[in-house]
Amino acid sequence: MEKLDETQFNYEKKGEKGPENWGRLKPEWAMCGKGNMQSPIDLTDKRVLIDHNLGYLRSQYLPSNATIKNRGHDIMMKFEGGNAGLGITINGTEYKLQQIHWHSPSEHTLNGKRFVLEEHMVHQSKDGRNAVVAFFYKLGKPDYFLLTMRTVTLKQLIMLRVTVHDQSNSNARPLQRKNERPVALYIPTWHSKLY
């Protein structure tokens, strides 16, 4: 496992380098302090917009080599150069999988409920736009197949947290204001029988 020094920021709620101050730490991070589309948010089913016209979403994930990196605030799997068969296509735009990392507890909440873990699969298009696919985890038996709600054992959760070398008990950013933005739910046609 490669260890990286990412001490420019942390997740300490009241710390100098904590989430409340991220927008002031570096000029390129200014949107963290003043942006209206910040993440994470509480995803509520009362406000969700089910939009059947969101377009076509196609995913392709093949076995691939990755480097595991300890960034100090999380564990990341980095796909460098070997991501040719990894990614998603949204409305004709290809997004290649760049990395996967985890937040404990979850950053986003679902109807006010915070989960023990949240996985972020970070993708990027050729023109530099990002698409992040997130999964919530709950404590349970090991998940040997892709279920709707993934599970993680307590031992795995503890391993992910103690491996990082920060002093924080979590790496989840506090919830941000929704600012009246819509939250859309994508239900693939082949998945519609489940809803």
φ and ψ of 159, to 5 deg: -60, -40
Strand order from edge to edge, sheet including 113-114: 42-43, 109-110, 113-114
Structure token pair of residue 43: 């995803």
The CA distances from residue 136 to 114, 118, 133, 148, 178, in Å, are: 9, 5, 10, 9, 20
> Token match 């990286």: residue?
4
Nearest to 137 by CA among 165, 181, 100: 100
Judge contact between 122 and 130, C-beta under 8 A: yes
Rounded to whole angstroms, the Cα distance separating 194 from 184 reads 17
Catalytic residue among 52, 73, 101, 123: 73
Q: Is 123 a catalytic residue?
A: no
Pairing of strands 2-3, 67-70: parallel
Supply the residues annotated as catalytic.
73
